């Protein structure tokens, strides 16, 4: 299932813009649903932080996924898109009162609570409304993930979650709060994880913790293992759909679920990254003293991942079949980190050519900024072009 670009249509469009291949998105979601159906008690919540484009949300809702939110604004966006509140989980280290109130009013599935002070405020706000908030505790399992330092989250040094050793105390405290109903445990060790062993390490930590909690007579209904499954940025055409089979099978094999427990996942990148490309127009080809630059009209404001995480996105010249040459592909922003990639082999580039920066469906459009007073990029789905 290789993404093809409607090049003739694109030539007439204002660039830069995001282009989403909805056939690929649907196949990806179908693959997830086929795998989770094997197990019966597995539920996927799309991590909307990866991409909140309305047209993408509509497809994801069509496929019956739940949602993982990290802000009240995300909650509003997914409620607008028609997702049921009962399938929303809400995480984040710094939830504002209005965000907690919104979750309470809408009756979301669960608050993933990250500290005792937050738990106390949720209890207070729920009491004021005469409601009971369902909560899971986000636990910092102190498990490292083999990924970029900026996107690892499960280490003791990170700001996220409550320490494993404080768990029993916190659960006991929750038991004393009238407006809190403790349901389970939440984890997330990082993002763009390709080694299944990292998830195995998480399963082992959860197993240990469950054994310990069970000895103290604590019953858990929900286990939420977060997201983190990575994608193949180097080969988007060869691996358009991530290996969901191995991912879910790893949890099935290594996590000891108890009778009646449900297992929840918060997948972001693996659902939407490969279906998206940033389409940009070449403004100039500039000969430097020892290299040539393809200067394009998209910048780090449109796709910040290369500048922020030294992330690699494959680049294709979709309007040229001239012989290959080597370029540094750079944007127009006044920052020397505004470079998409260096030494890239592209079909000969001329002014006006369109380049596609691949695997940009996750953490692309949503992380765009208005630096240099630039407008935010638009997003189009293949269904509408």
**What does each C-alpha distance from 4 to 14, 19, 43 come to in angstroms?**
19, 11, 31
Decide if residue 267 touches ligand LLP (CB under 6 A): yes
Retrieve residue 254's tokens. Answer: 């290594």
**Which one of residues 269, 281, 358, 374 is an interface residue with ligand LLP (CB under 6 A)?**
269
Residues 165-204 that bind ligand LLP (CB under 6 A): 188, 191-192
**Whose Cβ is closer to ligand LLP: residue 240's or residue 281's?**
240
Residue pair 320/347 in contact by the 8 Å Cβ criterion: yes
Decide if residue 363 touches ligand LLP (CB under 6 A): yes
d(CA 351, CA 347): 13
Retrieve residue 34's tokens. Answer: 């086929």
Angle at 374 between CA 360 and CA 277, to 5 degrees: 15
**Whose Cβ is closer to ligand LLP: residue 341's or residue 353's?**
341
The tokens 């692309």 sit on which residue? 364
d(CA 332, CA 336): 10
**Which one of residues 104, 113, 151, 296 is an interface residue with ligand LLP (CB under 6 A)?**
151
Decide if residue 243 touches ligand LLP (CB under 6 A): no
**Which one of residues 243, 266, 314, 341 is an interface residue with ligand LLP (CB under 6 A)?**
266
Decide if residue 281 touches ligand LLP (CB under 6 A): no
* Size, binding site for ligand LLP by CB under 6 A: 22
Quick note: the x/- pattern for ligand LLP over 107-146, rule CB under 6 A, is: ----------------------------------------
**Whose Cβ is closer to ligand LLP: residue 91's or residue 222's?**
91
Shortest distance in whole angstroms from residue 3 CB to ligand LLP: 20
Decide if residue 155 touches ligand LLP (CB under 6 A): no
Instruction: Give me the half-sphere count of Cα atoms (radius 13 Å) on the Cβ side of residue 70.
Output: 17
Residue pair 277/19 in contact by the 8 Å Cβ criterion: yes
Tell me which H or E stretch contains 278.
Answer: strand 276-287
**Whose Cβ is closer to ligand LLP: residue 137's or residue 327's?**
137
Residues 88-107 that bind ligand LLP (CB under 6 A): 91
d(CA 385, CA 383): 6
Angle between helix 72-80 and helix 54-62 axes, rounded to 10 deg: 60
Shortest distance in whole angstroms from residue 92 CB to ligand LLP: 8
Burial class (CB within 10 angstroms; exposed 0-12, middle 13-18, buried 19+) of 155: middle
| Residue span binding ligand LLP (CB under 6 A) among the ranges 46-54, 197-205, 233-241, 277-285 | 46-54
Quick note: the x/- pattern for ligand LLP over 316-355, rule CB under 6 A, is: ----------------------------------------
**Whose Cβ is closer to ligand LLP: residue 41's or residue 310's?**
310
**Whose Cβ is closer to ligand LLP: residue 161's or residue 331's?**
161
DSSP string across 115-165 = -HHHHHHHHHHHHHHT--EEEEEEEE-----SS-GGGB--STTSS-SEEGG
Decide if residue 268 touches ligand LLP (CB under 6 A): yes
**Whose Cβ is closer to ligand LLP: residue 185's or residue 282's?**
185
Shortest distance in whole angstroms from residue 271 CB to ligand LLP: 8
Decide if residue 50 touches ligand LLP (CB under 6 A): yes
DSSP string across 279-306 = EEEEEEEEE-SS-EEEEES--TTT--HH
Task: List Cβ neighbours of 153 (8 Å cut-off, separation of 6 or more).
Answer: 145, 160, 188, 189, 190, 191
Chain positions contacting ligand LLP, by CB under 6 A: 47, 49-50, 68, 91, 151, 153, 188, 191-192, 226-229, 266-270, 305, 309, 363
């Amino acid at each position: 299932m290789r993404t093809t670009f409607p090049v003739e249509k694109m030539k007439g469009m204002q660039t830069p813009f995001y282009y989403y291949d909805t056939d690929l998105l649907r196949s990806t979601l179908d693959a997830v649903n086929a795998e989770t159906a094997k197990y019966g008690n597995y539920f996927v919540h799309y991590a909307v932080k990866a991409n909140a484009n309305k047209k993408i949300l509509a497809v994801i809702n069509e496929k019956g996924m739940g949602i993982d939110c990290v802000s009240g604004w995300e909650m509003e966006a997914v409620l607008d898109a028609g997702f049921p509140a009962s399938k929303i989980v809400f995480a984040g280290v710094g939830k504002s009162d209005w965000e907690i109130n919104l979750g309470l009013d809408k009756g979301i599935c669960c608050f993933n609570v990250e500290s005792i002070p937050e738990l106390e405020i949720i209890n207070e706000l729920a009491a004021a409304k005469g409601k009971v908030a369902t909560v899971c505790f986000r636990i910092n399992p102190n498990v490292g993930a083999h990924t970029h330092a900026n996107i690892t989250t499960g280490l003791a040094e990170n700001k996220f979650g409550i320490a494993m050793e404080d768990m029993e105390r916190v659960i006991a405290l929750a038991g004393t709060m009238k407006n809190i109903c403790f349901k389970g445990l939440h984890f997330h060790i990082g993002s763009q994880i390709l080694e299944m062993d990292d998830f195995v390490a998480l399963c082992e930590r959860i197993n240990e913790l469950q054994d310990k909690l069970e000895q103290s007579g604590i019953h858990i209904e929900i286990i939420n293992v977060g997201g983190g499954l990575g994608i193949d940025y180097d080969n988007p055409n060869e691996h358009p759909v991530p290996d969901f089979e191995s991912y879910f099978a790893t949890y099935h094999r290594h996590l000891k679920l108890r009778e009646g427990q449900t297992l929840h996942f918060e997948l972001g990148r693996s659902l939407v990254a490969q279906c998206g490309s940033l389409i940009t127009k070449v403004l100039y080809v500039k000969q430097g003293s020892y290299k040539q630059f393809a200067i394009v009209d998209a910048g780090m404001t449109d796709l910040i991942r290369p500048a922020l995480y030294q992330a690699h996105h494959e680049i294709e010249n979709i309007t040229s079949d001239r012989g290959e040459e080597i370029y540094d592909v750079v944007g127009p922003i006044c920052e020397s980190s505004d470079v998409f990639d260096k030494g890239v082999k592209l079909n000969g580039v001329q002014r006006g050519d369109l380049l596609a920066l691949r695997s940009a469906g996750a953490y692309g459009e949503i992380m765009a900024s208005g630096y240099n007073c630039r407008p935010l990029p638009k997003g189009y789905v293949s269904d509408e072009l």
